[in-house]
Structure 1
Amino acid sequence: MPRIIAGYVRVVDAVNYRIGRTVMYGVFVMVAILLWSSISKTFFMPSLWTLEAAQFAMVAYYVLGGPYSIQMGSNVRMDLFYGEWSDRRKAWFDAFTIFFLIFYLGVLLYGAIDSTSYSLEYGERTRTAWRPYLWPIKVAMCVGFFLMLLQAFSEFFKDIARIRGEAL
């Protein structure tokens, strides 16, 4: 593989690995928010912000952890036939099907950017009593979709290298 592609794969994998390893601790943030919610409902006045904050933390956890999941191969796959195939045949199949993922992520990113620009322009808020701004979580979604798109291209290049019998 050309050095520029190998460099691209190395950089994207490194960035997504570090972000994924950092974001995986977001589950503790969610647990802390939900624990505070339970404590405040039992002993104090119920907090208005806990449910939405936990939802925002969960969205950031999933979306920013997605590229790491793709990189580690822990995404869901139908293994009825796939599990029995050779590595080369798996690479051919993955190299073909990755285009569906790239298209899907492109549509998601396009919609997320449009929605984020709307939120920033009009100061969009939720319709709850807490009324937080929506743009921070929408920006996180845009970043997550973009990183997943970069990781999908990285996986495509790795599949091409496997088909050619090269190590990347």
Structure 2
Amino acid sequence: MPRIITLYVRWVDAFNRVVGRIVMFMIFVMIGVLLFASVSRTAFNSPLIWSIEVSQFMMAAYYLLGGAYAMQMGAHVRMDLFYSRWSDRTRALVDALTIVLLLVFLGALLAGGISSTEYALRYGEKSYTSWAPPLAPIKIVMTFGIFLMLLQAFSTFFKDVARARGVVLEGERLE
């Protein structure tokens, strides 16, 4: 594989690994927010109007920012009807072909995310709840997560093409 592709794969994998490992700890922050809301409601009879929405925003950020790392680690669900019987090269070829569909989907999702984020920033879009937080910050995070997933999908595509050709790129996990 060309050196530029190897550098791209190495950089994207390293960046998404760091982001994914940091985002993993966000689950504890979500637990803290929900625990605080529960204690506030039951012990002090003082429900918080922001707690559920904050935890929903955090959950969206959690799975969108962690999606690229999950793809890198091979943690996404895969239909294994025939896949396990195929050779590594056949699997890589099929993966490379199917990831093209993922790239198209993520491209469309990214375009929609950019458009929605631009709208939220331009018009000061707010949530239709009693708390009414601005939606631009979570939309920025979501669009960034989709962008990271797109970068990781290209990295995975390059690794699959290399494996289909019988080459293993540096740093690639063998399954």
TM range (shorter): over 0.9
Within 1, Cα distance between the matches of 2:76 and 2:156?
13
Show the counterpart of 1:76. 77
The runs of 5 or more residues in structure 2 that have no matched partner are 170-175
CA drift of 1:102 comes to: 0.3
1:17 aligns with 2:17: yes
Q: Secondary structure at the match of 1:83?
A: helix
CA drift of 1:12 comes to: 0.2
Which structure 1 residue ranges, 4+ long, deviate > 4 Å from structure 2?
A: none
CA drift of 1:61 comes to: 0.2
Within 1, Cα distance between the matches of 2:88 and 2:166?
10
CA drift of 1:49 comes to: 0.4
Within 1, Cα distance between the matches of 2:123 and 2:84?
49
* CA shift digits 1:76-114 (9 cap, x unpaired): 110111122111110010010001100110111000100
Within 2, Cα distance between the matches of 1:84 and 1:21?
32
Figure out how many residues of one structure are paired with residues of the other and give that number.
168
1:42 aligns with 2:42: yes
CA drift of 1:165 comes to: 1.0
CA drift of 1:47 comes to: 0.5
Q: Secondary structure at the match of 2:82?
A: helix
Show the counterpart of 2:113. 112
Show the counterpart of 2:52. 51
- The amino acid across from 1:8 in the alignment is Y
Show the counterpart of 2:97. 96
- The amino acid across from 1:115 in the alignment is S
CA drift of 1:157 comes to: 0.4
Show the counterpart of 1:156. 157
* CA shift digits 1:55-75 (9 cap, x unpaired): 000000000000000000001
Q: Secondary structure at the match of 2:89?
A: helix
CA drift of 1:167 comes to: 1.6
Q: State the TM-score, normalizing by the size of structure 2.
A: 0.95
The runs of 5 or more residues in structure 1 that have no matched partner are none
- The amino acid across from 1:35 in the alignment is L
- The amino acid across from 1:4 in the alignment is I
* CA shift digits 1:17-76 (9 cap, x unpaired): 000000011111110111011101102210110000000000000000000000000011
Q: For the aligned residues, what is the CA RMSD?
A: 0.6
Identical amino acids, percent of aligned pairs: 58
